Structure 1
Amino acid sequence: MSSKPSSSAARRTFLALSCIAPVFSVAPAHAQQSDGQRVLGGVTVSDSAIDEQPGRKLESPKRTRPVLDTPQTITVLSSEVIEQQNLLTLRDVLSTVPGITFGAGEAGTGPGDNITFRGYSAANDITIDGVRDSAQVTRTDPFNLEQIEVTNGANSVVSGAGSTGGNINIVSKRPKADDAYVATAGVGTDNYYRATVDLNKRVNDLVAFRLNGMWHRNDVPGRDVEDYKRWGVAPSVTIGIDSPTSLTLQYFHQEDDNVPQYGVPYYSGTVPGVHRSDYFGYRNVDKQRINIDQMTAIFDHAFSDTVSIRNLARWQDSRQLTVVNPPQGTYCLTTGVTPTGGSCGTVPAGYYQPSGPRGTTRDIRNQLLFDQFDIKAVFNTGAIEHTIDLGGSATWEKYDLNNGNSLRNADGTSVTLPLINIDNPNDVVTGPTGFTYGSNLYTGPVNFIRTGHTLGEQTNVAAYLFDTMKLGKLELSAGARIERNVGTTRADTIAASTTSTVTQGQVTPGTETRSADTLFSYRVGLNYKPVEAVSLYAAYGNSRTPSKNSVNGSCTTAGENGATTSTCNVNPESAQNYEIGAKAELFDGGLLLTAAAFRNERDKYAVISGDPAVPNQQLDGKSRVDGIALGASGKITPDWSITTNYTYLKSKLLQSVSDYCLANPGAVTGTRTCTNTPTNPNPGAGQYLTQTPKHSASLFTTYRLPFGLTLGYGFTYQGKFLLSAAVPATATAAAVKAISSDDYLIHQGFLSYDFSPNLSAQLNVKNIGNKLYYQRIRNNGWATPGDARSAVLTLTAKM
């Protein structure tokens, strides 16, 4: 096993790449000219993204063409659309994007944005300004957000390792050239209070300053205990605004104090007697505290209309402390059986005995250093026009986790938890004698006993080249990326209490594991433009996912978890994306229409080998998702705007076991770990993938009337999907339904009125029909009720 790369070595790699910018700045480079650019001193320079038409320009310098001419399905949600719908978390925003679902927060990993994208996990595929954001936190506010770019399909070539189903890029606000001052204040149901400011000031010819701030609190609609409280500030300054050379400095700080959302018990459906508002954790113990600090420096220099360089450097420190009590335990219904029909044991009817991951505590710190350098150029080779981006990046990340339990006696021993009434968990409801009864107000001892300490470190160094070649009405876009990804993890165990062999707090060092991979990813697309406003394209790309894809993750070595489960020496998993589509701009570019048919094929993913002679997992797993995506965004008329999307996904599990187990099905014997059987040699083959709805759609549209009133309506539809894997293809409809979610359709209303050009009021009503539905479902565990009906009134003042 190789030794762990030191922090100093990682930082040296980072600093070396940071120095590339001055080296290249003495050589010519090229920059693409686009709409909204300004000419100063003979050099064309771009305005900030806020001055572009919302939803049409992509933030990354790797994107050499606008959305219309990029041969891939990309959904862009502008800050205007997000604010009109009053979407307040990343989860809220992405819930309006068809093809994305959210998994339940596991007690072992804590709450966070557990995203599934077109059938595949995307929890590690979130970037901010193109920089990987690995922190497993709940991203809770859009106050400093310019737009969100959702790229569909395998996308490692742009966003790096992973991105099997796609990538989600959050674009931060930056200073703009013209003065603008915006302040909002909102009140609503469920103790909703919110205030924001967005102040942009052109200080002089060269300097512009922008300040974004937010204070927010609200109870989760329809829930008794869960709430959000947060504040944030994001100042930024650009030196050289509207100049060929500029430096933008940004700082971001946000603090959250939330109650974790684990919802209600869920066993192939809700438990009889449970209400949507009930809280099954401990309301005086549970917490989620998040603290994020981020500093970014962006240097741009344009040598001419066709030459530019850019360097982005970032430091980030994210911390999250969680204490959670998921609603797990033995539930005895009033009928005297458990929700699954089993025996209640000693638990009396109508009560539940809390158990499982109660009191789980995780104190996490993620640190990041990142640098990326790009050269952009436009030039001709004969009749072919090239628009290229050549660049490289270096990333260093560190993960530090202290975990344990807070519901312990001082000596580290476990506490005895009282029974709680299912119908009324808020109060102590006594039942048969001989038992101790309690409520969701915990009255026992609270002592944090640390039981583990995990350290992870990850470095990534990458180089890439993108080129769009234009010849008449044809455009060929190609990109390639090579990267070296190295990660280490060490998990120490700590004695919770004193025994005959250990003393409380004694540390047993874990074995350090290491994963090192060289990844090559690529994408190519051919675009035909019969007219300027239409693109017809076909594209192909891949993704590569290493065993340790995130600084938070780890790999295993032989002997740790059985003889055939080692992952540290397994080659990266791979996936392919095939796509054909069409895009068109109508009404003088006001409306963008998109349509695509695609296949996402995960052709090599790791499964247990089952062969005692082969300790490493094997890349024999296979699955695929075929689909159709339709979308429309923009303005049909100057007064009528629309954002709508529909996605159809037909997913299929092709192979869930190794080739060895497929050829040798049978019972486990000795170290042999094949769990398939001769009657079911390929468990789940032919079945749908989990968390992958066949149909999903969303709509939000507004119409402005002549007298200052704007009316709007929206809906979100989520089709049903499987919650558990490895279901036989021959399973009955009833068996499949028992492990499937329900579909849901929710409606929202919008109304705004302009009192003057500088003062307006906006009313949002969400879930108009007060529909009861569930998200983030962990079958045979818990599920989160969707927000109940709520209303918010917001006043906006502009100067």
Structure 2
Amino acid sequence: MADTPSTVTVLTKDSIDDSGKNELKDILSAQPGITLGTGEGGNSFGDRYIIRGYEARSDVFTDGLREPGLISRDTFAIEQLEISKGPSSTFAGRGSTGGAVNSVTKKATLDDDFVKVSGGIGADNYQRYTIDGNTMVTEDLAVRANLLYGETDVPDRAPAGEKRMGALLSAVYEATDNATISADYYHYESDDTPDLGTRLVDGEPTTEQGYPGNEDLDFLQSQADIVTATLDLELSDEVRLENKSRFGVTTNDYVASTIQVRNGVSSDRTFTGSQENQYIGNQTNLIIDKELGGRRHTIITGIELANEESQSATYTVSGNTATKNDIASDYELNTASLYLMDTITINDDWEVFAGLRYDYFQYELWLAESTSGRTGVVTPATTYDYSDGLLNGHIGVVYSPWENGNIYANWSTSSNINGGESDAKGSCGYGGVCSDDDGNYKSAEPEQTTNLELGTKWNLMDEQLLFSAALFQITKDNVIEGGNDSYTTGGSLNTGKNRVQGVEFGISGNITDKLSAQFGLAIMDSETLESYDTDSIGSPKANFANESANLQLRYQVMPKFAFGGNMTYSSEMYGGQPDAGATDNKLPSYTVYDLFASYQVTSKFEIQANIQNVTDEDYYTALYRGGSIIYIGDARTANVTFNYEF
């Protein structure tokens, strides 16, 4: 971490367990610089992340490979969570404008046999059960199983609730001293009764609106089935070859209702969607760590091939019955990527790092004939297809004349393609396909983003505590804007430009032998620099909090007893659609406190208690641009978890 010349936050399994948060969106939204977006008419409902003001719902990775589709995600199979900030297309490919999220999963190990069982009960009908077992079948072969079942009501919002089931099955085989083969199968199901929260009344979220949905109709169901295989070869002490292959299918289906008020008249509004995503990918990396020309080089070079497909449809609702319609869009994206990265150690004080990546893609999107519900305009069935290449890179330097600290500077880029968000289909302003007035899709250039970062990192307290600070500026140019109607394919192409500037601080590790901390603070400012809508120029970005902070403390009172807490702060946030100027609708700032305590009854048996939102703060996490959907943060709730290791 100290030697990584960029802003990266690593959340370990222990810190995730202490927090008591099981949903990936809850963990990420508590981190500085990250906010949530709502599902809307132009994009799907599911976990929608926004990092440093930029969409990241497709920039989610597991064990270094991209995840398919927009779904809900749980932490039961996660060993470590890595959040990188700033454009990183050299590593991640297209997108990754504000950053990316990578989950490291719990893999089979040849080190130990164990079985860990966990059961939790609590308020709001909370129950959660997990099993984590690893077995060494032979000295060369091990298998591991992680299993999950959980369900709960949304605190104080029943009948809104969540149900989760999951499994991660993995194996590792050490074929020789220099060759290791591993594979895993991930299955996950979520079955929720969604809660679209509340709405704005006179510019403020109203607390008078209870659950706004139809419990006999509404559902939000997602499923993932993903197989990954990895071959790791030690070719020599200085050269390693790694090959990863993944095949995954995810589905996301929903009918979600809310109450809409226009001109003082209340009416029901229902959002529906169905999406099936398929991902096939292969990544081959050659890692070389050796002296070349009298300098130490750490080289990573490789090739990545990927095929992404997505089919989308809607539901027709009649009374309390929802019937799935025919496929409305068919999306396919094929990508071939080449990359080369090198970190060169000049001497004890200086390191230089640089990298290039070229992505060649072929894009095709078929949209069925459609009729606008607002204008009545009929759009005939259309196929958009084109191909292009993206070249991105990074370069920087690390200066570390001190034993425990360094200063670094870097420059990095990323690219987004027209129509790159598969769930947005033909909704131009939400990342879907855009065309010019003649329907010419090829006229849009890729959006280009440049990041400048100057930072420092220090190992303190006898290298037990890491401090980091970074100044950064992200500028996005050639922005594809939605035009006057973001739900149609026509848009204002490459007419926008915006910028985010800020500073971020982080502290992670042990302050004393008994007190540990994880702290992050982001202070940012955003501005629309250019736009087809001149009134938007100068306005801040939507779904963007200027200040956000998170602090998690743990104090080991005695060997068997520890307690701690978590504080999350977010300043006010304006609504709007991606890369558009913010609307006048906004959410108030909030501060939320959580508490936890654990007691080690025996060497194998532990009890942990968590209280979320101790002060029962009314707070709101995401805002639909028109103000008719506002996600409500969870009210106060508590649970107790019993952990036993055989």
* TM-score normalised over the length of structure 2: 0.92
Q: Distance in 1 between matches of 2:565 and 2:133?
A: 30
Measure the CA separation in 2 of the matches of 1:712 and 1:249: 37
Distance 1:565 1:647 in 2: 41
Q: Which residue of 2 aligns with 1:12?
A: none
Q: Deviations over 1:239-263 (max 9, x none)?
A: 0089421000101111111112311
Question: Residues 193, 371 of structure 1: CA spacing in aligned structure 2 closer, same or farther, 3 A cutoff?
Answer: same
2:622 corresponds to 1:796? no
Q: State the Cα distance separating 1:108 from its structure 2 match.
A: 4.9
2:208 corresponds to 1:310: no
How far does residue 494 in structure 1 lie from its aligned partner after superposition? Answer: 7.4
Contact residue 148 and residue 165 of structure 2 kept, 8 A: yes
| Cross-structure match for 1:285 | 217
Cα distance change, pair 241–655 in 1 and its aligned pair in 2 (3 A): same
The corresponding residue for 2:150 is: 216
Q: For the residues of structure 2 that align with 1:788 and 1:608, how far apart are their CA atoms?
A: 36
Give the Cα–Cα distance (whole angstroms) in 2 for the partners of residues 82 and 727 of structure 1: 31
Asked if 1 retains the 8 angstrom alpha-carbon contact of 2:42 and 2:424, the reply is: no
Task: Supply the distance in 1 between the matched residues of 2:531 and 2:496 (Cα, whole angstroms).
Answer: 5
**How far did residue 133 of structure 1 move?**
2.1
Which residue, out of 102, 106, 117, partners 1:183? 117
**Which amino acid in the other structure matches residue 637 of structure 2?**
S
1:458·1:551 contact (CA, 8 Å) conserved in 2?
Answer: no
1:580 to 2:444 alignment: no
In structure 1, give the amino acid aligned to 2:363. Answer: G
1:476 aligns with 2:352: yes
Per the alignment, residue 408 of structure 2 pairs with 537
Matching of residue 69 in structure 1 with residue 3 in structure 2: yes
Offset of residue 383 of structure 1: 2.7
- Displacement of 1:375 in angstroms is 0.6
Partner residue of 1:621?
496
Aligned-partner Cα distance in 2 for 1:462–1:728? 30
Give the drift of 1:237. Answer: 0.5
User: Which amino acid in structure 2 is aligned with residue 148 of structure 1?
Assistant: L
| Separation (CA, whole Å) in 2 of partners of 1:243 and 1:327 | 63
Alignment of 1:632 with 2:507, yes or no, is yes
What CA deviation, in whole Å up to 9, does each residue of 1:350-401 have, x standing for no partner? xx332x4x2x432221111110001111121233100101111000111112
Deviations 1:301-326 (A, max 9, x none): 10222111000000101112211213
Between the aligned partners of 2:45 and 2:56, the Cα distance in structure 1 is 15
Structure 1: how far apart are the matches of 2:10 and 2:175? 25
The CA distance in 1 between the partners of 2:118 and 2:358, in whole Å, is 45
Q: Look up the match of 1:374.
A: 285
Task: Specify which of 691, 701, 709 is matched with residue 543 of structure 2.
Answer: 691
Contact map agreement 2:37 2:50 (CA 8 A) in 1: yes
**How many Å apart are 1:553 and its aligned residue?**
4.5
Question: What letter matches 2:139 in structure 1?
Answer: D
Equivalent residue letter for 1:104: T
In the alignment, what sits opposite 1:120?
Answer: 54
- The 1:776–1:489 alpha-carbon spacing in structure 2 relative to 1, beyond 3 Å, is same
Q: Is 1:523 equivalent to 2:375 in the alignment? A: no
Q: 1:725 to 1:253 in 2, by over 3 A?
A: closer
Residue 98 to residue 509, structure 1, CA distance change in 2 (3 Å)? same
Distance 1:134-1:568 versus aligned 2 partners, 3 A rule: farther
> Which of 354, 364, 370 is matched with 1:488 structurally?
364
5 Å-filtered alignment, 1:298-337, equals: 298-330=230-262
Stretch of structure 1 that moved more, 264-273 or 703-712:
264-273
Spell out, residue by residue over 1:543-601, the C-alpha distance to the aligned partner (whole angstroms, 9 max, x if none).
111112244455799x9977277544311110110000011122343221111001011
- Whole-angstrom CA distance in 2 between matches of 1:727 and 1:233: 37
Could you tell me how far apart the structure 2 residues matched to 1:233 and 1:73 are? 32
Structure 2: unaligned runs, 5 residues or longer: 373-377, 485-489
**2:399 counterpart letter in structure 1:** Y
In structure 2, the residue matched to 1:237 is 171
1:546 matched residue in structure 2: 417
How do residues 593-672 of structure 1 correspond to structure 2 at under 5 angstroms? Answer: 593-607=467-481, 617-657=492-532
Structure 1 position 748, deviation (Å) = 0.7
Structure 1, 595-604 or 777-786: larger mean CA deviation: 777-786
- Counterpart amino acid of 2:574? L
Report what 1:590 is aligned to: 464
Distance in 1 (alpha carbons) for counterparts of 2:50 and 2:440: 25
Residue 685 of structure 1 deviates from its aligned partner by: 1.8
Partner Cα separation in structure 2 for residue 129 and residue 353 of structure 1: 45
Question: How far off its partner does 1:114 sit?
Answer: 1.9
Task: Name the CA shift for 1:325/1:451 in 2 (closer, same or farther; >3 Å).
Answer: farther
Q: Does the 8 Å CA contact 2:72/2:190 hold for their aligned counterparts?
A: no
- Corresponding position of 1:94: 28
Residue in 2 that maps onto 1:250: 184
Retained in 1: the 8 A contact 2:434–2:441?
no
Q: Which amino acid aligns with 2:179?
A: T
1:145 matched to 2:78: yes
Aligned to 1:32: none
The amino acid that maps onto 1:315 is F
Q: 2:92 aligns with which of 138, 141, 159?
A: 159
CA-atom RMSD in angstroms: 2.7
Distance (whole Å) between structure 2 residues aligned to residue 327 and residue 744 of structure 1: 25
Structure 2: distance between partners of 1:401 and 1:727 = 24
Q: Indicate the SS of the match to 1:282.
A: coil
Deviation (angstroms), 1:172: 1.6
Structure 2 CA distance for aligned equivalents of residues 790 and 489 of structure 1: 45
Contact 2:204-2:587 within 8 A present in 1 as well: no
Return the alpha-carbon distance in structure 1 between the equivalents of residues 248 and 362 of structure 2.
Answer: 20
- Cα pair distance change 1:134/1:565, threshold 3 Å: farther
TM-score, normalisation: structure 1: 0.75
Instruction: Determine the structure 2 residue equivalent to 1:434.
Output: none
Q: Which moved more, 1:285-294 or 1:600-609?
A: 600-609
User: Could you tell me how far apart the structure 2 residues matched to 1:594 and 1:603 are?
Assistant: 29
Q: 2:597 aligns with which of 751, 759, 769?
A: 751
CA 1:571 to 1:744, structure 2 compared with 1: closer, same or farther past 3 Å?
Answer: same
Deviations 1:58-107 (A, max 9, x none): xxxxxxxxx21121101111111111111111111102211111111114
Which segment is superposed worse, 788-797 or 319-328? 319-328
Could you say which residue in structure 1 is the equivalent of 2:606? 760
- Give the alignment partner of residue 777 of structure 1, picking from 623, 629, 633: 623
Are the aligned partners of 1:556 and 1:565 in contact in 2 as well (CA < 8 Å)? no
Structure 2 SS opposite 1:326: strand
CA distance in 1, matches of 2:528, 2:612: 36
**Structure 1 residue matching 2:511: 3-state secondary structure:** strand
Secondary structure of 2:121's match?
A: strand
Please give the alpha-carbon distance, in whole angstroms, between the structure 2 residues aligned to 1:241 and 1:269. Answer: 64
Aligned mates of 1:86, 1:556 — CA distance in 2: 37
In the alignment, is the contact (CA less than 8 A) between 2:407 and 2:457 conserved in 1?
yes
Residue from 259, 267, 271 that aligns with 1:353: 267
1:518-538 deviations in Å (ceiling 9; x for gaps): 000001120011234322100
Q: Where do 5+ consecutive residues of structure 1 fail to align?
A: 1-66, 331-341, 408-443, 497-506, 658-675, 677-681, 730-735
Provide the C-alpha distance between the structure 1 equivalents of 2:168 and 2:390, rounded to a whole number of angstroms. Answer: 35
**1:465-507 alpha-carbon deviations (Å, 9 max, x no partner):** 11100021211111110011221111214799xxxxxxxxxx9
Q: Distance in 2 between matches of 1:308 and 1:112?
A: 38
Amino acid at match of 2:127: Y
Question: What letter corresponds to residue 353 of structure 2 in structure 1?
Answer: S
SS of the residue 1:691 aligns to: coil
CA drift at 1:625: 0.8
Structure 1 distance, partners of 2:203, 2:240, is 57
Matches of 2:480 and 2:578 in 1, distance apart?
15
Aligned residues: 630
